[in-house]
Homo-oligomer: A and B are copies of this chain.
Amino acid sequence: MTVTPASLTPHQVRQACREDSWTFPSTAGICDGYVQANLVILPSKYAQDFRNLCARNPVPCPLLGETKVGDPTIPARLARDCDIRTDAPLYRVYRGGKLVEEKKDIMSEWTDDSVGFLIGCSFSFEAALIGGGLVPRQIEIGRNVPMYATKVPLAPAGRFGGHMVVSMRPYPPDAIEQVRDLTRPFIATHGEPIAWGAEGAAALGINDPTGQNPDFGDPSEIREGEVPVYWGCGVTPQLSVMDSKLPEIICGHSPGHMLVLDIRDEDVCA
């Protein structure tokens, strides 16, 4: 049996990250069929506001689970023998809303007062799109997905507010109902698109008809006869936390370097 990135087990990936022997440029395409999580790590006094932010905005902020205060162990139902401080490939450290460091573990940032949150990611529904023959453009061209800040306000929660971030994948208009049907069941990982086409772009306040000028991620290609299709994006809660400019240290994963869980895509389907 050949070991490929897609056939690694989540535990193998996490162990490699923990032992600092992980060398892949991102977790895209790693551990086929397993859920990957966005991370946000906060002082406990902000935990209830963050929990409320996710509860009030589940489409862009699908909360999969959280650690206990000061305990870096991921709940076993999500991943066994998993330490949130070391088991993702790359972390980012923020202070006052500004990136101060990117590093391979957050052993020295995690405290007895830290709480870690795990948020669903679009890799889960992308597998369903690929399975349906509707390969997302950014996978076809080997790039990161393009993301946009929208003018759609989040339902605020205490300290946290801001606007929804969306990811974009172009499709022909006559494929949109199939795209909606394929992604709808992934209710815990953004689900069906929130908007599409020129009208959808206008409602979100996005003006990039070619897909070449996203706010985050890589430029894409909206080809002739295609329209942009937008999904809620897990960058939303990170951006909301950064926008709140908390004076304390906040950590997250580095974009594209997600924590790979033991649960499978079908486990987060309705």
- Report how far A157 CA is from B155 CA in the complex, Å: 18
| Total A residues in contact with B, Cβ cutoff 8 Å | 25
Please state if A52 and B184 are interface contacts (CB–CB under 8 Å): yes
Which residue of the partner chain, among B58, B158, B194, contacts A58 with CB atoms under 8 Å? B58
Q: Does A56 contact B (CB under 8 A)?
A: yes
**Do A184 and B158 contact each other (CB < 8 Å), given the known contacts A55-B58, A56-B191?**
yes
A153 to B193, CA, bound (A): 12
Residues of B within 8 A of A6 (CB): none
Are A56 and B56 neighbours in the complex by a CB distance under 8 Å?
no
Q: Which residue, A48, A55, A204, A232, has most C-beta atoms of chain B within 10 A?
A: A55
A247-270: which residues lie under 8 A (CB-CB) from chain B? 270
**B-facing mask of A144-156, CB < 8 A → 1, else 0?**
0000000111011
CA distance A55 to B232 in the complex (A): 14
Given contacts A56-B58, A59-B56, whether A232 and B187 have CB atoms under 8 Å apart is: no
In whole angstroms, what is the CA distance A184 to B52 when docked? 9
Contact, CB under 8 Å: B59 / A194? no
Interface presence of A105 (CB below 8 A):
no
The answer on a CB contact under 8 Å between A153 and B194 is yes
A195-B56 Cα distance, complex, nearest whole Å: 14
When the two chains form their complex, are residues A157 and B52 in contact, meaning their CB atoms are under 8 A apart? no
- CA A207 to CA B151, docked complex, whole Å: 17
- Whether A156 lies near B55 (C-beta < 8 A) is no
A8: Cβ under 8 A from any B Cβ:
no
Give the complex CA separation of A193 and B155 in angstroms. 8
Q: Which residues of B contact A52 (CB under 8 A)?
A: 184, 187, 191, 270
Tell me, yes or no, whether A66 is within 8 Å of chain B by CB.
no
- A residues lining the B interface (CB < 8 Å): 48, 52, 55-56, 58-59, 151-153, 155-158, 180, 184, 187, 191-195, 203-204, 232, 270
Given contacts A153-B204, A157-B184, A158-B192, 7 further A-B contacts (CB under 8 A): A48-B270, A52-B270, A56-B59, A152-B153, A157-B191, A157-B192, A158-B184
List 26 A-B residue pairs with CB atoms under 8 Å apart, sorted by A's residue number: A48-B270, A52-B184, A52-B191, A52-B270, A55-B187, A56-B58, A56-B59, A56-B191, A58-B58, A151-B203, A152-B152, A152-B153, A153-B194, A153-B195, A153-B203, A153-B204, A155-B191, A155-B194, A155-B232, A156-B192, A156-B193, A156-B195, A157-B184, A157-B191, A158-B180, A158-B192
